[in-house]
Each structure stands twice: as structure tokens, then as C-alpha cells.
């Protein structure tokens, strides 16, 4: 019998691509999503892209234990991938309670329901933002953690909860994946990132400039201690992130307990390098102006991707050109995102 994976936040950017990857590898996939920051249309796109339907999808908030418990009662869940969370750094500063409630209390509710139904295998969506303002890169899983905003605190707090739960419940198997900067889209152009309102993140903003929805990019500072002065990040293709989750599910039984892994490429790219690459991929120059630094931004965050490579014999395969090309294809085919 194929394994059934329950994916919370399955209609979101990373969740939807991961569902396609799981379906393509024969898994049965159940989605739970409250759609506060995702379009229900994404669920149709998942089925269309994968050429196979989801086993089921439920509009449920993970904090609603009774509703969540009914979902677990209706399916024989073998593993859970937990994406459902708020994820905007700036918003988390304005709405810290909302962030703790959804991200931390939501994870606790999910754990309680998993426990009630005898489900012990979990892949958790964490973030490289737990490292904060890193002294030096690349960052290994042993680099010091120092969150600088409520969002990053919630992710680290969830990791701590999971680690402690694993220390006391011998049957638990949890892998926390600290992603660097997921970008790009499914190569079909059917699935991609569909931010509501003005994008916070660099790649979707650049894509909207290229398609003519926005006049120019603001580059947040060119006086960082990096080669060209602009911020350096480890951009990772969302299809590699999705593949990483599927591989993680395959490795859940390697050992019991809690483990944390970086999910990045190990390559740093500056804002101006990304702008140039996107201009090349789209054939459209990206107008930009340099403005002040964005409060809370750090100079450079780049992964040491060696741990997953050693543990799973797996590495990312898609480069910056593929990230820009696929993001641009999605933007062109869906200039206003998924119809809402």
C-alpha cells in the first residue's frame, strides 16, 4: 500500500510543490490548509501538474484540534509534513501574538492530534532565519542560533518543542529542515509563488517588475560587507526544496528522535547578481534604484549543505538560471497569480 502523507499548508508555495513531488512518487497526499495565505485554486493546479488527484483536502486551521482530529480519523496517516505557518518577518514584528499562536500553538495542536492517532513521523518546516545575523558563512547546523524577530523565534521555539518531545517520547521521529531562500516555480508554469499584495521577497518582486506590474525594484542597501555591497542569500529552487522534503520522508526511519538539517545550495548570490540573472532569463532589463537598508536585514546567509548530502546522499541540482527561468515562466503565464 502506498504511504499516506498529510501536508499542512499544502496549498502554499512550498507546500504545493511538495504535494506534486509526493504525488509523482506514488504517495497518497492529504492536504490541510486554512487558506489564510494560499489560494484554493492551487489545489486544482497540484492535481493538474501531477496528473493525479490529492487523496483529499480540508479547509482546516491546525489550531482547531477537533477538526484536525477528524481528518486524522478519516485517513491512515503514515507521516506528516508541517508547513502551515505565518512567514513574513516584517508582519511578525507587528503581529507577534498571532505568530506565536499560529506557529507555536499550531505545532503543539498538531503534535497532540498526531499523538492521539498514533502518528509519530514528522518533517517540520524551519528556517535559516534562526541563525540571525551570522558572524560568518557558510552556516552549518551547529552554527549558533540567534533569532532577531518573532517569526524566527517561533521557528526556533517549535524546534525546541519537537526536540524535547522526541527526548521523552521514544517513538517520535522528527526532521526539521531549515530552508534558506526558496524561489522559482514548477517548470510547467502551472504552479508558483502567488504573494498577496506587494511582495516582501526579492524574486517575486523582480518578476512583477519584469512583467510590468511594478515600475522598479528598490535594492535595500549597497553598503554591506559583500562583494558588490548588496545582500547575499542562498537561493534554492522550490523544486529542490520539494524534492528535499520527499527525500526527508524517505529517511524518517533512519533513526528515532529529532534531527535538524539545512536545506540550501551552498552558493551565495547578491541582489544585483539575481537582478542580472533575471534580466537575462526574461530578456527584460530590471530597472532598480538603491535605497536604504531594510531594518532587520543581514549581510549574508549561505548554507553549508554538507549534512544532508552526507546523510541522504542527496544534493540540490537546479541553478540560479533555472530558478529565474521557471519563476519567469510562471509570472508570464499567470501575470496576476492564481485567480482568487
**Of 182 and 337, which CB lies nearer to ligand UFG in the complex structure?**
182
**Of 72 and 151, which CB lies nearer to ligand UFG in the complex structure?**
151
> What SS3 state is found at 233?
strand
Task: Name the residues that contact ligand UFG, by CB under 6 A.
Answer: 87, 89, 127-129, 179, 181, 200-202, 205, 217-220, 231, 233, 271, 294, 297
Which one of 151, 205, 224, 338 is the catalytic residue?
Answer: 151
**Of 23 and 145, which CB lies nearer to ligand UFG in the complex structure?**
145
Which helix or strand (DSSP H or E) is residue 174 part of? Answer: strand 173-179
> What SS3 state is found at 189?
coil
What is d(CA 180, CA 235) in angstroms, rounded to the nearest whole number? 7
* Smallest gap from residue 215 Cβ to ligand UFG (A): 12
* Smallest gap from residue 68 Cβ to ligand UFG (A): 25
Order of strands, edge to edge, in the sheet holding 79-82? 56-59, 28-33, 4-8, 79-82, 121-127, 173-179, 257-263
- Which residue is nearest to ligand UFG, using beta carbons? 231
**Of 164 and 228, which CB lies nearer to ligand UFG in the complex structure?**
228
What is d(CA 323, CA 91) in angstroms, rounded to the nearest whole number? 26
Residue 151 among the catalytic residues: yes
Which helix or strand (DSSP H or E) is residue 99 part of? Answer: helix 96-99
* Smallest gap from residue 221 Cβ to ligand UFG (A): 6
Residue 207's DSSP bridge partners are none
Strands 4-8 and 28-33: parallel
> Can you spell out the DSSP letters for 66-85?
HHHHHHHHHS---EEEE--S
Question: How many angstroms separate the Cα of 297 from the Cα of each of 42, 219, 230?
Answer: 30, 12, 11
* Smallest gap from residue 201 Cβ to ligand UFG (A): 3
Task: Find out whether 181 and 237 touch, Cβ atoms under 8 Å.
Answer: no
**Of 23 and 271, which CB lies nearer to ligand UFG in the complex structure?**
271
* Smallest gap from residue 151 Cβ to ligand UFG (A): 6
**Of 23 and 106, which CB lies nearer to ligand UFG in the complex structure?**
106
Report which DSSP code applies to 37: S
Task: Find out whether 16 and 46 touch, Cβ atoms under 8 Å.
Answer: yes
Task: Find out whether 153 and 147 touch, Cβ atoms under 8 Å.
Answer: yes
- Give me the helices (H) in 169-305, please: 202-210, 238-250, 271-282
* Smallest gap from residue 126 Cβ to ligand UFG (A): 9
Known catalytic residues?
Answer: 151
Amino acid at each position: 500500500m502506498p504511504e499516506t502523507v498529510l501536508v499542512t499548508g499544502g496549498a502554499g508555495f512550498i507546500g504545493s510543490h511538495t504535494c506534486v513531488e509526493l504525488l509523482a512518487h506514488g504517495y497518497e497526499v492529504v492536504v490541510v490548509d486554512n487558506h489564510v495565505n494560499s489560494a484554493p485554486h492551487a489545489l486544482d493546479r497540484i492535481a493538474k501538474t501531477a496528473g493525479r488527484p490529492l487523496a483529499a483536502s480540508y479547509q482546516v486551521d491546525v489550531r482547531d484540534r477537533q477538526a484536525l482530529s477528524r481528518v486524522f480519523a478519516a485517513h491512515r496517516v503514515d507521516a506528516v509534513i508541517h508547513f502551515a505557518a505565518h512567514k513574513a518577518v516584517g508582519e511578525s514584528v507587528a503581529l507577534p501574538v498571532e505568530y506565536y499562536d499560529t506557529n507555536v500553538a499550531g505545532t503543539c495542536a498538531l503534535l497532540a492530534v498526531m499523538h492521539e492517532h498514533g502518528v509519530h513521523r514528522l518533517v517540520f518546516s524551519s528556517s535559516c532565519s534562526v541563525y540571525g545575523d551570522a558572524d560568518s558563512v557558510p552556516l552549518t547546523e551547529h552554527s549558533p542560533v540567534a533569532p532577531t524577530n518573532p517569526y524566527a523565534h517561533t521557528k526556533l521555539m517549535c524546534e525546541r518543542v519537537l526536540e524535547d518531545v522526541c527526548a521523552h517520547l521514544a517513538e517520535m521521529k522528527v526532521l526539521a529542515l531549515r530552508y534558506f531562500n526558496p524561489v522559482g516555480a514548477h517548470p510547467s508554469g502551472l504552479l508558483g509563488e502567488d504573494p498577496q499584495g506587494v511582495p516582501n521577497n526579492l524574486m517575486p518582486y523582480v518578476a512583477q517588475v519584469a512583467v510590468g506590474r511594478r515600475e522598479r525594484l528598490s535594492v535595500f542597501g549597497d553598503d554591506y560587507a559583500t562583494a558588490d555591497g548588496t545582500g547575499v542569500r542562498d537561493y534554492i529552487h522550490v523544486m529542490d526544496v520539494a524534492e528535499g522534503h520527499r527525500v526527508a520522508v524517505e529517511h524518517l526511519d533512519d533513526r528515532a528522535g529529532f534531527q535538524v538539517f539545512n536545506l540550501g545550495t551552498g552558493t551565495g548570490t547578491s541582489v544585483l547578481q539575481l537582478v542580472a540573472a533575471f534580466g537575462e532569463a526574461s530578456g527584460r532589463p530590471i530597472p532598480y534604484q538603491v535605497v536604504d537598508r531594510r531594518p532587520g536585514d543581514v549581510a549574508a546567509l549561505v548554507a553549508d549543505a554538507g549534512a544532508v548530502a552526507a546523510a541522504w546522499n542527496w544534493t540540490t541540482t537546479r541553478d540560479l538560471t533555472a530558478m529565474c527561468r521557471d519563476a519567469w515562466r510562471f509570472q508570464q503565464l499567470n501575470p496576476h497569480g492564481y485567480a482568487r
